[in-house]
Structure 1
Amino acid sequence: MADPFILSLDESSALYLVGGKAAGLAEALTAGFPVPKGLCVTTAVYQQGLDQAGVDATAIWRKLPDLSVEQRAQELAAIQQLLLDQPWPAGFPDDLETELTRLGGDSSTKWAVRSSATNEDAADMSAAGLYRTTLGVSPAAVLQSIRDCWISLWNERVVQYRCRSGADRPCPAMAVVIQPMLSAQAAGVAYSIHPVTGRTSQVSINAVPGLALSLVNGEVTPDQYVVEVYDDDHRPFRVRRRTLARKRRKLTATPGGLQEESIPEPEQQQSCLTDKQLFELTRMSKRIEVAFRQPVDLEWAWDAERLWIVQARPITAVRPWPSLTNDECEWTRANFKETLPELPSPLGLSFLERFMEAYIVTPYRRLGCTVPEGLSSVRVLHGRPYLNVTLFYTLVMQLHGNPAFLMEQMGGEPVMFTPSVRPLGALALVRAGVGMMREWRKAAKQGPKNFAAMKAMAERYHYDRIQNLSVQELAATLDSIGRWLDDHEVTFAIAGGVAQSLQALGTVLPGWLGSDWRELLNGALQGQGTVVSAAQIVRLAELVAVAQQEETARRWCFSEEWTARGYRDAVHGTEFLRLFDQYLAEYGHRAVGESDIMSPRIADQPDAVLALLQGQVRAGVTASPQEMLSRQAQRREQALSEIARRFGRRRHRWLLFCWWYRRLSRFCALREENRHHLMYYSTAARHLLLRLGERMVERGSLAVREDVFYLTLDERIALLDGASRDWQSLVRRRREERLRHEALQVPDTIRDWEAVVEQGARSSDQGREGVLRGIAISAGVARGPVRLLRSTADWERVRAGDILVVPVIDPGMAPLFGMAAGLIAEMGGTLSHGAIIAREYGLPVLVNVPYVTSLLRENEQVEIASSTGLISRLVS
């Protein structure tokens, strides 16, 4: 039995006969989704045309990749002409007219005529935008539009796409979908998963007013939304991101055909969709995903009455990713702001990232916790580091902990987005508990030895003692102390001891003591004399008391032209100077922003401390160290007494409290002692690096010794290995970037990283040297020379590894995607046809970079990164 020439959409299930687009719509119709009625002109009509022309499509398809460009162009043009010249099958035009009439068509009806190739909308390849779609077609022009779909299959870009996706694929055939035009008020594309990250809990939606043709062709920037979908049905959807574009014109269907209309100024930045419409579209996307049993890419339209689905196909080239991603996590500066300067050095940032991964996150993994692939603990925005609060929330929850106490330790705002977390099972939890106790014992046992070793490092590698070390010796020493830290770091164990003790007490004390339990506990922790950092205050108070009593020191403090410079001569031979030197010996390795190795230590710049002492002497501060200690001890005893009183005769409560209280006190002291001695380690490394910087200045690699702090850990290694690079230019660029960052303000908490990055992209900095940003529509990092493409005439200049820079991403550029390293566009949406194909090629892409074709120069070296949306201009 011969295959039919025309089928209704709900009958269009045979892929070989109706192609991918018709089959997808038929599946959606069968599942009960709102698809406009329509019909499919099957591949049987197309095949008859080929047979009448004597064309062996399979043979030609096989030989096309081996032909030269000129030969291929001639072959394709010949087939296109043959398809245009063939007569229609007998009776087919009349039958088609009859079927269109059954669909409710008349002489005024306008039609949408869309390709439906057998290699289109497949699970492993989309062929998005490669074939012809014609909207607003009059009844008289439907037959010609069908032929246009046929000949679009025999096109150079289709051949290139086929070569990239596998030369052994069978020759495609072309069917055609015909539907009445919708009077769309808004239209667009929806992905049932995030198109860049693959996050399964996020639906991505692009929308424009009117018809979506300009959107899918990548010719306009649409409104872009990301809607968060939760696993449970009790939490409503939420719009995670809403980026509204300025929409000056829209395409509408009129009785006379398609018409472009101007949008009034007040409406240009209004949202195309209400939240209610967004949530309905989100629900439908997820329902179709379930029906198709895989993530889907939908084209949709909203008329005056309802939502319609006009295309449904599997998503290709985006791997579903149920785990958390960096962009949806919440981030805080709170913890880092305590110990880092506002703008840490590049070396300090790279060490921080390594420290957090190696010494904090990795131990959680050893306990059996799961850390989603690609999730980082630290992220940097405008030179400021942020801590991943969501990550540590999930880690604490996996260990059956209370994240509220985590936030108390870290500071900052509580987590608003709480992802689903699967706690460890009973056996895994027991193993984690045993592992944690092993870590605690190790910290308590090895801590004093480690602390003594770090203090000895600071003495051994004092700046004055390493002057004769060669570059090789300095490098070897830095590597050696780095390996030592790997074997002896105990920060995780100590922080875990504090956290567990605090959680244990925080669980029982509210019920035992009342609402002021925290105030009582804090009071009980005062004045123990075991916290090394707090003892610094006592030393300073002693210095103030001595300066007030010692005439020479007092006279110096009250000098009208007081300056810290030359203080040694001014107070030579005094008790004040002896005690100050003792203070420097004990605390001179500390600093403001001390976790950054670039921050000068107190011993390097004692002026600030001396000014503080001088101010207290002149102000007549009289509190003696003994009074301070006595007052703190008294508060501690009062708090402990009140706690005991409230326990009353419940002796078991007092005994349990004392056990955890001693443990908390011990680990709090250990925590500060660990930091205190880590700064000895940091000072030793700082001295070695400064001396290394001086050696690099002698070699001409760096301009000044402090330039060494503007290199990352890996770059410092590359520098010493003799890597050929203009290091001075690199440092100069980073210093300039640091100055730009100083002028920027950043939030302390970030709950939507992508939105913050996009806001930066729209800032006044956009377009300045080295500051270009866009929106990532395909993941990855790419580096290469700029190739400016404004027309097909520029294609011949494209070379493998180029970064293509274009006004828009035309799907017709697909032949270039296999050669390019990355792509940058002035405008575009996440879900345009060009974006879909770029993702399928694995091409990193940034869009919405205004005037980028004018701002970047031909052959200029750039790097694009989807994680930040940043375009870095490189200096070779």
Structure 2
Amino acid sequence: MRRGQVRRTGGAGGVLTAESATAVAADVRNVARHFGTPQDVEWALDRNGRIHILQARPMTAVPEPVSWKPPGKGVWLRNFRMGEWLPEPVTPLFMDWLVPLIDKGYNEAVFRSSGISIPMGHAAVNGWYFVAPPSPTTLPHMLFSGSLRPLPYIFNSVLRPMVDPAGADRAVLGGLEQEWRNVFLPRYRSLAATRLTGAGTANLPELISLVEQIARAAGEYLWYFSAAGGAAWKMEAVLARFWRKHLAPGLKERQQETPDAGGYQVLLGGLMPKPPPRLPHAVYSLDWYQPTAGEEQQSRGDGVEADGRNAAPAAAATAVERRQAAEAACRRLLQGTRRLGRFDTLLAVAQHYALLREEQARDFTLGWPLLRRCAAQIGAELTLAGVIDRQDDVYFLTRADVRTDAPPQQDAVSRRRADWLRQRKLDAPLILGTLPILGNAFERLADAARSTRKAPPGALLGHPASPGRARGRVRIVDSPADFSSFQQGEVLVARATAPAWTPLFASAAAVVTDTGNLAAHASLVAREYGIPAVVGTGNATRMLRTGQLVTVDGNAGTIEPDED
């Protein structure tokens, strides 16, 4: 890419602002897409900041394209299990040490609850985490081999929520929630809290033991999170079918009596009595390389409420009012019919599990402050031993290198760090292989939520995750470093969001993510704040640019670029 006639006028700043650089990159991608091959582009920037493409020629000496082949048989998903919490490539030590431990803790918890083991493959493809759920051909063998005793449990926890949510709650899921709340969660909190003070003085074997305890506990937590809170989207699907069959036609006829609900999702918004709390253990990414929210606040000298973003926006109150009005309209329509009782039962269980899912998401990373302290101390020990040069090089080791008698690893660390930095620039696909049954289920639920199947020309399409329509300027947010630049009324565009991102929702006009589905963090929190959300777009962070004016339609699942 060539620069036009742009000159530095003095000072230490760059030639281009971040917004202009992003706009140039977006225009160059459009040129390459038009010609079907990478282009050497010459451009200019006028006094008004408008970019002009002057000429384009095919590039020579283009690097070899990156291959995204599945690492094994079946389908591999980036947006499943831990994938939603990993919006960028994983560091080597996380993938080589923590991921197997979390996976082990998860599988052990599944076996204790159900009596069977359903392992899933996991791998890093070009540095990005992918997981392989059981295929339709292997799952029956896992379920029917050996004893048949686990089958009722699997039916009630996996399949029944899709047809009879209240029955699944009574049979299995309600008990799992109570076990998580009364037994496991206090134990996990105790492990995270009581060990925090000891990590700074522990020796290397003790630090390794702490890491393994926390990681396996996180895996056990992931089971409760997946089975109980993870049932929320299945229950939502049942509510969506009921809405479409028994409510939507009648509500349309009585439009004068009903606010613009935006579909069944209005019934699942505005459920929290107050905005979610800001928690020091919240994370931006599950990879322990990234600081926790508490560390970020401490480094900026912030208090927990310092930026004022935990206050409920006016839209959140509107979400409560819209939900209550929609509930009342539904009950008026069903009054005097047997379907009213069915509606109330479906609504109660769907709302309960939507709240449970977000509650469980908030405390999943209770152990991450301890993991970070352990990693820092391990890094210090290995630096003293001459294994690495700097403390934070520890994240670019493998598990086999975590010993004081290991040979110097700096060359390998430097190579892996460079690979990781390069991989962060890649557009990783959401799916490798053929879309599984699970993926189709999410697509069907998205279609049920979509107000129209016709997307405007030039619009990006994703899952309609939170109803409403909003217009605003895009702000691409890649990491916590970008949080302070986010302005009131902007459209938050990110690869994915996790609980540490929640404070930004109070200022956002709308939310758009590359990954996620209708059970993702962005979907559920956007509904609580009463703002539109479109998730699972695949590449919104690449196709949009900071400062661009867009309209986000959370009913249709579209993002339309506007003319300034």
TM-score by length of 1: 0.34
Structure with higher RCO (Cα < 8 A, 6+ apart): 2
